[in-house]
């Protein structure tokens, strides 16, 4: 398999995967089918990210606000997550993919926590692409937790907070993508987005392919990042 390089030196891409419900509705299918197809898009994208040599891919899978959805949908989402991890873990191990979780995942159901802990342990020594999955994640919650830990150690500075974020150890965020035409950050990576480029597309998440990622990265490569300087 040929190894392509991530264009323009992007190291860390994050995605708000939105539009599974609308994808299903357009086809008169249950929302759960949209989420199922969403997982297929995740699977293809993780493989592409690895082949591109991207250092980190962070995916917004379940927010602290998603608990407001009907119980049936919440359990369908966690069922899909469990199946994905079970089915693809051997592939992660074999292909040097490290799993990382951001968000308060320890508060999830015990079987989900056990499955994730096992997958985290079995991929902990991999140093290829990091797949960071946001679960029970809210950025304001993350920052508050990080600030509390920083305060317990010493003066609160941006660097001290950053070192305590759930993303500590990942490369700086280069590019944030949101699908389905919504122009919001929805409490995702608010700290990390400080100098990231943003890329929005009308494509609904189940239709998002590695070619869309390449398109976003190509455009990222054409942008001039000044980090506040001139
Ligand atoms: C947004 O679609 C998508 C989600 C809330 C969940 C994303 C989850 C997955 C793709 C599956 C599990 C994740 C992994 C990493 C295996 P929506 O339901 O908000 O769509 P809508 O706005 O069109 O209703």
Could you tell me if residue 197 is inside a domain? Answer: yes
- What CATH number corresponds to the domain at position 178? 3.40.1180.10
Could you tell me if residue 168 is inside a domain? Answer: no
For ligand 1, atom 7, which residue shows the shortest CA distance?
61
What's the confidence (pLDDT) of residue 225? 73
Which residue of 19, 20, 82 sits with most ligand 1 atoms within 8 Å of its CB, as the best mutation to test the pocket?
20
Could you tell me if residue 64 is inside a domain? Answer: yes
What's the confidence (pLDDT) of residue 166? 98
Ligand 1 pocket, residue 132 CB under 6 Å: no
Could you tell me if residue 32 is inside a domain? Answer: yes
For ligand 1, atom 3, which residue shows the shortest CA distance?
18
| DSSP track, 122-178 | HHTT--S-EEEEEEEE-HHHHHHHHHHHHHHHS---HHHHHTTSTTTTSPPP-EEEE
Ligand 1 pocket, residue 112 CB under 6 Å: no
Could you tell me if residue 201 is inside a domain? Answer: yes
pTM: 0.95
E strands present in the chain: 12-16, 56-63, 98-102, 130-137, 175-178, 197-200
Ligand 1 pocket, residue 17 CB under 6 Å: yes
What tens-digit pLDDT sequence spans the chain (230 residues)? 445 655 568 999 999 999 999 999 999 999 999 999 999 999 999 999 999 999 999 999 999 999 999 999 999 999 999 999 999 999 999 999 999 999 999 999 999 999 999 999 999 999 999 999 999 999 999 999 999 999 999 999 999 999 999 999 999 999 999 999 999 999 999 999 999 999 999 999 999 999 999 999 999 998 877 778 87
Instruction: Looking at the CA of residue 66, tell me the nearest atom of ligand 1.
Output: 5
Longest dimension (CA), the chain: 55
**Residue 169 contacts by C-beta under 8 Å, 6 or more apart in sequence?**
none
Euclidean distance between CA atoms 51 and 80, whole angstroms: 24
Could you tell me if residue 164 is inside a domain? Answer: no
Sheet containing 56-63: give its strands across: 98-102, 130-137, 56-63, 12-16, 175-178, 197-200
What's the confidence (pLDDT) of residue 1? 42
Residue 98 forms beta bridges with which residues? 130
Counting the structural domains of the chain, the total is 1
Answer yes or no: are the C-beta atoms of 57 and 134 closer than 8 Å. Answer: no
Record the tokens describing residue 19, joined without a space: 């539009």
Record the tokens describing residue 206, joined without a space: 């189940």
Ligand 1 pocket, residue 197 CB under 6 Å: no
Could you tell me if residue 213 is inside a domain? Answer: yes
Could you tell me if residue 151 is inside a domain? Answer: no
Look at residues 195, 162, 155 and name the one whose alpha carbon lies nearest to residue 176.
195
| Residue that is written with structure tokens 């946001």 in the block | 134
Whole-number Å distance, alpha carbon 16 to ligand 1 midpoint, is 9
The domain in which residue 131 lies consists of: 12-138+173-222
């Amino acid at each position: 398999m040929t190894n392509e390089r991530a264009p323009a030196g992007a190291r860390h891409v994050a995605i708000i995967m939105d539009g599974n419900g609308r994808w299903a509705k357009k086809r008169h299918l249950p929302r759960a089918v949209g989420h199922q197809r969403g997982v297929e898009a995740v699977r293809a994208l993780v493989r592409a990210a690895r082949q591109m040599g991207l250092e980190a891919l962070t995916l917004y899978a379940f927010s602290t606000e998603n608990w407001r959805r009907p119980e049936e949908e919440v359990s369908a989402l966690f069922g899909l997550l469990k199946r994905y991890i079970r089915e693809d873990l051997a592939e992660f191990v074999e292909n040097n993919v490290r799993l990382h979780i951001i968000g308060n995942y320890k508060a999830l159901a015990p079987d989900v926590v056990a499955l994730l802990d096992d997958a985290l342990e079995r991929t902990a020594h991999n140093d290829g692409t990091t797949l960071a999955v946001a679960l029970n994640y809210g950025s304001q919650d993350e920052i508050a937790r990080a600030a509390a830990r920083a305060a317990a150690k010493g003066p609160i500075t941006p660097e001290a907070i950053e070192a305590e974020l759930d993303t500590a150890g990942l490369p700086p965020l280069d590019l944030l993508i949101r699908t389905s035409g919504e122009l919001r950050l929805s409490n995702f990576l608010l700290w990390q987005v400080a100098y990231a480029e943003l890329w929005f597309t009308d494509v609904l998440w189940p239709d998002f392919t590695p070619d869309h990622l390449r398109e976003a990265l190509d455009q990222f490569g054409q942008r001039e990042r000044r980090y506040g300087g001139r």
